[in-house]
């Protein structure tokens, strides 16, 4: 499959390395977010963005047991070490969830325990939880950046000092396989309020 949009990417979403690995393996297409401590709310500035992998705050008790082996297989790294970009995503759908029963219906489709996902929903209860349905692509080869101080802190998004080309990237799942993966998720999300997404 050839990419329809090969513009270089300069925005990156900070996400647990184990969640990114599951996305890169095509085991999930779902991310749920509420925003960092330093953010008033979670917003999606771009329809396409890189994954900035985080390592130090990953906790097995917040992951479904099916992903514990995957977590153990990931090399231990410091979050302030070299940053390795291996993939990016296109937003296939973005929704807002405010009710516990809506979140519970999504439980089979993401990597986190229900208790952890529910804790994110209850944090800042006046703000909705954002659910992103993502199509993930692998870069042709990893791209390494030196860590910068501005990458740190409890924030969701990083704007890089230089954009990363993505020509030659490939989707982790072909069209039919991706549609089969997300069909049950979209069935749950149908009718929910859309979350705003930038360009």
Domain range holding 80? 9-189
Mean pLDDT, the chain, whole residue set: 92
Please state which of the ranges 5-19, 116-130, 179-193 shows the lowest mean pLDDT: 116-130
Is 176 within the bounds of a domain? yes
- Whether 195 maps to a domain, the answer reads no
Residue 76 has pLDDT above 60, yes or no: yes
**Domain of residue 141, CATH code:** 2.30.130.30
Q: What is the pLDDT of residues 10-46, one digit of tens each?
A: 999 999 999 999 999 999 999 999 866 566 778 899 9
Residue 199, domain member (yes or no): no
pLDDT score, position 94: 96
| pLDDT score recorded for residue 39 | 60
Burial tier of 104 (Cβ tally within 10 Å: 0-12, 13-18, 19+): middle
Q: Is residue 162 part of a domain?
A: yes
Residue 198 located in a structural domain? no
Asked if residue 110 lies in contact with residue 51, where contact means CB atoms within 8 angstroms, the answer is: no
Q: Count up the domains in the chain and report the number.
A: 1
Residue 197, in any domain of the structure? no
> What pLDDT, on the 0 to 100 scale, is given for residue 5?
81
Decide if 78 is inside a domain. Answer: yes
Q: How does DSSP assign 116-155, residue by residue?
A: HHHHHHHSSTTSPEEEEEEEEEEEEEEEEE---GGG-SS-
User: Token pair for residue 170?
Assistant: 């490939």
Q: Among 56, 49, 88, 61, which Cα is nearest to 74's? A: 56
* pTM of the model as a whole: 0.93
Predicted confidence (pLDDT) at residue 1 exceeds the cutoff of 80: no
């Amino acid at each position: 499959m050839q990419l329809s949009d090969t513009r270089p990417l300069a925005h990156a979403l900070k996400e647990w390395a184990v969640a990114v690995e599951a996305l890169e393996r095509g085991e999930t297409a779902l991310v749920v977010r509420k925003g960092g401590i330093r953010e008033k709310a979670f917003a999606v500035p771009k329809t396409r963005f890189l994954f900035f992998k985080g390592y130090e705050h990953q906790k097995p008790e917040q992951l479904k047991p099916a992903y514990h082996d995957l977590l153990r297989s990931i090399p231990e790294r410091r979050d302030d070490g070299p940053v390795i970009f291996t993939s990016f995503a296109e937003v296939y759908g973005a929704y807002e969830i405010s009710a516990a029963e809506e979140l519970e219906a999504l439980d089979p489709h993401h990597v986190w325990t229900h208790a952890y996902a529910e804790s994110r929903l209850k944090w800042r209860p006046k703000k909705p939880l954002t659910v992103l349905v993502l199509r993930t692509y692998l870069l042709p080869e990893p791209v390494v950046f030196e860590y910068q101080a501005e990458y740190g802190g409890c924030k969701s998004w990083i704007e890089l000092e230089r954009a990363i080309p993505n020509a030659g990237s490939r989707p982790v799942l072909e069209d039919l396989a991706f549609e089969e993966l997300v069909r049950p998720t979209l069935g749950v999300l149908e009718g929910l309020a859309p979350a705003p997404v930038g360009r």
